[in-house]
Structures are given as structure tokens and as C-alpha cells.
Structure 1
């Protein structure tokens, strides 16, 4: 069901949204009918449906699957077999997910038609924002957009992140004018493969055009804050470029340099002095965004899910500007939009658009004990890995059958060859708009740590810690307990592990004699044992800082348990959480730290390459 939306016609766009949110059941049935009619003869569906297209048979006969179930089909296509294995439409590329399988990014099939569906999705956001914010067509957006590494499969298909795919597409590069795609950054700076050069040039262009900027942002909160930190380190050089009218010599990407030079224009000492005053006034950079871009109406970044941890830092820099999360998407498909974009970040809910895919939901049960350690589930949509569990007595329900206040795991059937696929996202129903349910993003299933696009599960962490233990055990140390948290108090953020150690043959009250170099090796070993997305963020993107281990004194984890029990947790059911988000629980741990140690080297990383079978 491919729809079009003219982003310059607000009235038509809002009418289309009314239709999509009113006729939800009919649209979802039409979407499923189209998917089954198109793809009934694919190898995958034929094995379950015998070329039949009845919806009832689909729900009874086609299993709910995860990535490991469909990975062999995708790898066959990557290695050159025809798309008809899973999709009647040609698979034109594979979108690499930030989730991993066997240490490598997952690959999601995509088609040319799906690119048109994404374009519709972006266009339908425009009338929603125009409803809440006036005059956006009178200026530009300083949106910091970046591409990430890509590779080719043995069959020649591109394998790359979904946003990289979109920015490199003709739909983006040849986009028709509308008020929401006028950026201060020239396309050449967005498409620059060197992230440092790209970041510098986009900030330079944003500062030169500061009087035209009405909105600022990036896709994720982490990326936007990384840009602000980058500007803290480079504002003097940026001012020098503006004052001289000359781009720094280390910007060597020719197309990027030429495009930025045209925007930079003639020397402008007045603007350089003005920016310098703003960067040097006061004791800190509090409110710097509003100072540097005084006409800005809001900051657009995703601040739900794991990105919610950056809200306090964003508020520090923002100068009181609203934080706006407009959309909810994934590598599998684009999903929903925020119909109240100016709402407080902790109240953000997304309305799934029923024409984007066929949606089902696996009911989940809430685990109260874990909520005690993860109170952010009420505050900003972040929770721990054990907060919810599968309700094994229930089957998947349709989009129109979800219940207010209930938790679900999202399952999608797409136009691109995914059938009843578990995305891994946990959602809570917060309300309805017309007949369309609205969802708050709660968490990614099984993810305990995330700083940027990395998603580290409890199992990933356990395996990495096990490798580090091999370093300390021959030296007489035992790791008796550990936990972790994502420290985003600085930019970039980094992983912190709390370790409680004991020494063989010594009393527990004897002081530990710890070799800092050995602990540094442990930190590096943990990093090297984590997946490729984490290692890419550390090495290529510089979006995660060195991992830290904090050694705590004997009895610290007993104190943690005492704290949890005092808050109502059950002694009989208590288990040490592998990730802590409660500020009070973190204080229990931090008050007993004996030493802090950091990774001494950047972990190895290279773009993944699918091996030919």
C-alpha cells in the first residue's frame, strides 16, 4: 500500500493522517492482503502456505521468528541467489541493523519501493510539525546528518545502515523543495565519509548561516551532543575560518571542501567575533545552542529509549528549547510518528502508521521487582532487561486489539520479505488517536547497555567479562560479582563495570593489591570481546569513550542487595542486576570504589564482510 504525500500541502497531509488513523483495521487488512498476494509464491511462504493467501492461514501457519530463523535466507540472497526466496520484488540492498548476530550487524532486506515508502514517511511529518510550530518555512535546519561505513556482499548488493542508504539515494539527493529539507549543510558535507571532516564542515556551515537557522538537531541525541562537544574543542578554529574566509587545510575531501567554501564566502570578522563572544562568555556552555542560533525554535533528536539518558545534558546546552522526537523507525521498516511533537520527552508516544507494514504484538508481563532498580521506565521510557517477560499463554494480537497500559513486543510483516519478524522492541500502549493505538518505546529486548547505536545484551556482557577474567585468575584474583551502567555524564559516554574482587588465600578484610596495568588489560579485553557495532563506535565513529572498570571493596554487592530489599524487592527472588540505572543504587556502588581503571587501547574493527559459501 504505497501512498504519496505532498509536504507543501498541510491540509491534505492532515486529512491523510486522519484517514490512516481512522480506518486502521481496514488498512491493516489491505496491507496484509497485498503482502500475501505479492509473495505467496516465494520459497519462504510457499513452505507454510502452499501458495494460499488467506489471512487466517497466515496467522496459523506462518511462525513468529527472530533473526536467526531468517538469516540463512538473507545470506543466500547476499551470496547471489534470487530475491524470490523471500520477496517477489527484487532485493536492491541489505540494511545493516545496530543489533548483531554472531558479532556482526544483522542484515534486513530492502527494495526500491520501500525507499518510496520511507520518503512518504518523512513527508507526512511535515504537516504535523507545521501544526505546532509557525514559520518554519522561513528559515533553514541545521541538522547534522552522517553516513556510516558500507560494504558489498559477494553478489554485489550494498550492505549499509538504513540512514546511510537514504542519504545516498536519489530520493534524498534529488529531493524536491519543501520547507523541511532546506539544510545549512550541503549534501557534499553530509555524504563525506570522513566523520571528522563532515562534522567540522556541517558545524562551520551552520555557524555561517546562524541567522537563518530555525531548528537544529540530529537523528539521535548522542550524535547531536557529540557535535556540541566537537564544537567546544574546535570553536576557535571555526571562528578563524569564518574570519579568514578560508576552510582549514586538513579538510581534504574535495567535493566537501568546494561546497563549504561557497557557503563560507568572504572573510567575516564581525560574525567570527560574535561567535567568539558567545563561546567565551560565562563560566560554562550552558544554553549555548540558543546563544549561537538565537532564532531556533526547537531541537529535533530522538530522546526515547536508550537516548533518554541524554535529556539532562541536552537541557543544559539547550537554553530552554523544546526537545522534539518526531519519529520511530528501525532497519526492518519505518513505524510511527509523534502526533504531539512538542510534548515533554517523558510523555512521547508514537502512532504506528498502518500502511507501513502489518503489525502484530506479543503480550508481555511486567516484573515489578526489576522496576525498583530501573525507575526510569516511569520517567523517560528506559528500563532494565528483566522488566518484562513473555506471556506464554497468549498469541500475537493485531494492531487494533492491543489494550491500554499493556506491554507488547513488536512483530512486523513487511513488503520487503520479513514475515512475522520479532523486531525486539518493547512498547507500552499509552492511548489512542482516532482508532490508532499510541505507543511509548520502553526498551530494546535484552539490551542492558547502550551509548550510541550500540546494543549490548546481558549475554554479550557476560562473555566479554569471562574473557577478562582469564587475565586476573592466573594472578590469584576471583571476580565475585559485577554489574554495569552507561555513563553519559561526559561526551562521549562510556561503559562502566563495577567489579568486586577477592584474592585467593587472603582474608576478605585484607587490602587488595591491584596492578593498574593488569586492570587496563582487562578493560581492553572486555572491549575487544564486544560486538562489531560497539567496536565501530569506539574506533571509527569515536562516539563511545574508553571502557572503565571500577573495583569496589568487599561487601559492596551485599549492600546493593540490602538497598534493593529496602525498596521492596524480594530476598528470595533477588538477583544481581547486570545493569544499574537507579541513581540511588549507583551511589551505593560509587561510595565503595577502591580504584578506577580505563581501557588503554582502541579495539580492532573493520567493516564486516559476508563470506561466500
Structure 2
């Protein structure tokens, strides 16, 4: 596909979804039929029906021994007919363990095509994006190598450092050297500084995930006085000692600008940071960050920081296994986002599941999914994954031409359980939304959330960690916590959980009262730093929905300010 494409390419892809999927599978099988892995099932054949009949549905753990063999130095054709050129490192915050996925140049080309089409969709709905500056806070994770010498890094890092990224980054306010700086703190500071200096040209503010953008705003809260000082004198702070960053900033911050410094001090010095994004970047047309799934917990914060003036655009659905689909209606509300699958990215199949995540039916092709049904996607890609479970549950919401559109529902696995109740990610997010509504009339804004199942007590119970920030007088170090309001939060959360939870909670013998533990401001930043110190990437970091690591729990436990319990059993 030509990178000089227009939206007619999207029409062609979605109108010919079946043929394109057939062609993709044919190409993959012809390239991979004689790999060690596929030869066991296909005996060298590239027949599609034989593929569906003989090749098993697998999890990552089933493929890991083959992936590890290539990473340790065996030839690529253990799993891939195309040379493996890199390995992608997953964030590890969804599953609890970092995984490595094989990648090749076809995968990187697909990412480039994916982002090109995404930019075209955005330009269709927002005037002037191509003429303005697009802030997309991106941070590079250090690249390590596998034992065989191939690079190992998160997909965002691998793509950003590749030649395929260059054509997409032309309208960033930050020079490449700043985005490629391996020191996250210096990179974040300089990206913000460049974005502030060019504030009148910025048309989009975003990051890959909502959690990352909220982290950047918290960073701005801590450093706005220093930004104003740098702009006032026309020089970056001395602690920015990465020479590429210093030199790059000097091409943007070319002279003192006391007028801009005064404006930043005036806006950031106000008692409330409501609308701070739209105030600092007045020509911004949207906030671009994924806000579906676990990221939905950050919607109230981003709406507050934009004063509900900027649409929250959840642009794409992607993973380390494959890039899947684009949101073709970027102006829709976050709760209505659906992703249109692109049939040229990989070969997609779907396991019909019930809405609780259990397997309910057959495996179907992309164009044969049914409206309203729930599915778990399977990926067969160009890099050696064949019929690999992704672990997500999606619901079909419609079709764009012949390509289905999916709503992301949740990760497949149960998140919480202390008895036999299967509490899912979706259950937890609904309960959190109810609790957030209770807080609307208060001065508290949710800044961080996670949970865990405490079975050290009898009966076991759910523990919810919450971090709050003040909507007004944000500089106050002590937030007033209203016992009545927070106990009510506990109660409405329990009322929102599934029937099995409420049944076993009703007698107080199988499940104990839900507990909220309020932690100090900045605790969830510390949690992110903990995971980053253990190999996670800042750009791809997602706050874990449920914590299982004792070390991670200790980060939170050391900063607990107060505890609250529900004071009544929820109705069955």
C-alpha cells in the first residue's frame, strides 16, 4: 500500500475484507508452511482448510518454547519463514508477566500503514490537523538484546526508532532527538517545554494511553514554575544534561519570552486546574489517547483537565501480537467507541464466547462474526504466531462495509475472586464508575485505582486502592476525606458487582465487606516507577487492574492514609 494513500484505500480494504483476509492467510502459509512449527500440522502444505482443521488454537505459553529457541540463537524458520529482525516486549501490566513476541519488517510496515490510515481518519473529522503541531508524548524504553543478538524492546520503542516512523513524525513540536532520549524524565520535560513554547500551533495533545497523559499532567503540576523560568530566560534548566535534548530545545527555545512565561504562571497558578489542557493549548481540537478498557478509569480526570471542551479520541486497538482496528468515528463518546478491523494487518479468527467469557461456540472468520455476539480474537501473523489467543473479549457492534466493528469489553481472565465468584474487569470498571459518580459533588478527583483480593482475612474481601487529587486548591497536601461519602462509595461498588458476588457477600461468611484504602498523592506515580524499574515501558504502561505482586502491593501499603468499609450487605 502506498503511504501517499487517501481514504479510498480504507474503503477498498473494508469492502474487500473477505478476499484480503484469504490473501493474507495464503501469503502467511506459503511463507511459513515449512517452518518447524507448522510442518508438524501441515506437512509443507499451504492449504487453508488444512490449516483450520489441523493447526491448534494456542496460548502464548504454548508458543513460548519456540519463541525462546529463536531468541536464543536458533534459525528464524523454527517459527517464521520471514527473518525475525526483532522481538517486542509486552508491558506485563495486563497479564502480570512480560512476554516477548517475534517481529519482522512486515510487522513494522503494517504499523506504518496502520498509523497512516489513522491519521487520515483524524484529518477527516478535525480540520487543520496537518497544518498544526501534534503533541503525542512518547518515551523510549532502553533496547536490550536477546542471547542471539536481536533487539528486544516494547513495540512503541521498536517502531519509534525504526525508519518507518520518520514519515509520521513530521508535525511533532519536539525534534526526534528529544523523543529518542532514553532518560524518561529529561524527555518528558523537554517534550512539555517544546509543546509550551509552540502552544499556539498545537492542535492535538495525547499519548498512547490515557494513564501516560495523566502522568504527564501530574509532571507539569510539579514543574510548571521551572518551565516558566526557562521560557522567561530563554534557556533550558542545567539538569537537562542529555546533549541531544539540550541542543534540540535550543532550536525551539531561541530567545526569552517573558509574555509566555507570565501566561503559564497565570494559568498554572490558579486554584483549580480544571481545563488546564485547553487553557495552555487553546487551539487543541482533541485529546488523543486510548480510553477504552482499563483506561476508562482516567476519563473523568481527562474531562476535568480539558473542562469537557475537547473530545477524548480513542483512536486504535493494537497489541504486541497484532495491530487490529481503527476508530472510524473519533468524535463519539468513549463508552461508544468501536474499532473497525483492518483485514490486511494479520489473519483474524474469532472464538464465540458468552458474555462471561466462557467458550460458547465455533471459530469463525472475520467477515462471519455476528452482530451482538462476544468473541475472543485469534491472531495468525507474519512473524510466527498461528491461531494465538489474544486474551481479550470483544463484542460486535456493527459493520463498516464488510469489515466488522468491535467494542472492547475486557481482558478474558477473571480479575478478582476470594470464594468462587468470577469478578471480571468489566465488573470492576462498572463498580468504579458508580463510585466516581458518588464523588462528583465533592472536591475529590480520582487520580489512580487498582485492587486485589485479600485472602489473609477470613472471610476474604476485596481491597480497592484509590488516590485522590483536589479539584480546587490542588496545592493542599492534606485532602479532607468524608467518612460518609467514602463508605457510600464502598456500598455502591458492592451493589454494582455481579450476582454471584452479592449472593456470597450477603451472609458475610463467604466474602467480607469491601474495603477502600486511600493512598497519598503521587502513590500511583510511584507504582508506575516500580514497574518501569522492572522492565515496563512508560509509553505502554497500564496501571494493573488487579495487583498480584507482593512488592507492588507494598508500594501502595506504605502510603495508605485511611481505610473505609461498606457498612451493609448489597441486595442480592
Q: TM-score, normalised by structure 2?
A: 0.77
CA-to-partner distance for each residue in 1:437-492, whole Å, 9 max, x for gaps? 100111122263xxxxxxxx879xxxxxxxxxxxxxxxxxxxxxxxx989997686
Q: Which residues in structure 2 correspond to 1:74-89 (within 5 Å)?
A: 74-89=67-82
Identify which of 161, 164, 168 aligns with 2:157: 164
Matched, 1:443 2:410: yes
How far did residue 72 of structure 1 move?
0.4
In 2, Cα distance between equivalents of 1:54 and 1:594: 56
Matched, 1:193 2:182: yes
CA-to-partner distance for each residue in 1:552-589, whole Å, 9 max, x for gaps? 9xxx9xx979965x98825897479xxxxxxxx99x73
Q: Which residues in structure 2 correspond to 1:174-185 (within 5 Å)?
A: 175-176=166-167, 181-185=170-174
Seen in structure 2, the aligned counterparts of structure 1 residues 139 and 156 have a Cα distance that, compared at 3 Å, is same
Is contact 1:68–1:101 with CA below 8 Å preserved after alignment?
A: no
Which residue is 2:102 aligned to?
Answer: 109
Q: Which residues in structure 2 correspond to 1:410-421 (within 5 Å)?
A: 410-421=377-388
Which residue is 2:450 aligned to?
Answer: 495
Which residue is 2:357 aligned to?
Answer: 388
Seen in structure 2, the aligned counterparts of structure 1 residues 500 and 41 have a Cα distance that, compared at 3 Å, is closer
Matched, 1:360 2:349: yes
Is contact 1:446–1:458 with CA below 8 Å preserved after alignment?
A: no
Which residue is 1:322 aligned to?
Answer: 311
Which residue is 2:278 aligned to?
Answer: 290
Which residue is 1:589 aligned to?
Answer: 514
Q: TM-score, normalised by structure 1?
A: 0.72
Which residue is 2:83 aligned to?
Answer: 90
In 2, Cα distance between equivalents of 1:133 and 1:499: 47
Is contact 1:100–1:106 with CA below 8 Å preserved after alignment?
A: no
Which residue is 2:370 aligned to?
Answer: 403
Seen in structure 2, the aligned counterparts of structure 1 residues 568 and 412 have a Cα distance that, compared at 3 Å, is closer
Seen in structure 2, the aligned counterparts of structure 1 residues 55 and 568 have a Cα distance that, compared at 3 Å, is closer
CA-to-partner distance for each residue in 1:126-175, whole Å, 9 max, x for gaps? 22112111122221112211112332111001111000001111222xx2
Which residue is 1:4 aligned to?
Answer: 2
Which residue is 2:426 aligned to?
Answer: none
Is contact 1:413–1:419 with CA below 8 Å preserved after alignment?
A: yes
Identify which of 56, 60, 78 aligns with 2:53: 60
Structure 1 segments of 4+ aligned residues over 2 angstroms from their partners: 98-104, 484-503, 559-564, 566-576, 593-608
In 1, Cα distance between equivalents of 2:530 and 2:127: 47
My pick for the range that moved more, 229-238 or 103-112, is 103-112
Unaligned 5+ segments in structure 1 are: 7-11, 367-386, 449-456, 460-483, 509-522, 528-551, 577-584, 609-613
Identify which of 221, 238, 254 aligns with 2:243: 254
- The alignment of Structure 1 onto Structure 2 pairs a total of residues equal to 483
How far did residue 594 of structure 1 move?
9.5
Is contact 2:494–2:514 with CA below 8 Å preserved after alignment?
A: no
Is contact 2:301–2:447 with CA below 8 Å preserved after alignment?
A: no
Which residue is 1:344 aligned to?
Answer: 333
In 1, Cα distance between equivalents of 2:232 and 2:150: 45
In 1, Cα distance between equivalents of 2:197 and 2:133: 12
Seen in structure 2, the aligned counterparts of structure 1 residues 205 and 52 have a Cα distance that, compared at 3 Å, is same
In 2, Cα distance between equivalents of 1:209 and 1:335: 33
In 2, Cα distance between equivalents of 1:22 and 1:48: 32
How big is the alpha-carbon RMSD for the aligned residues of Structure 1 and Structure 2? 3.5
In 1, Cα distance between equivalents of 2:255 and 2:11: 49
Which residue is 1:215 aligned to?
Answer: 204
How far did residue 388 of structure 1 move?
2.4
SS in 2 for 1:410: strand
How far did residue 124 of structure 1 move?
1.1
How far did residue 425 of structure 1 move?
1.4
SS in 1 for 2:90: strand
Matched, 1:235 2:211: no
Is contact 1:144–1:185 with CA below 8 Å preserved after alignment?
A: no
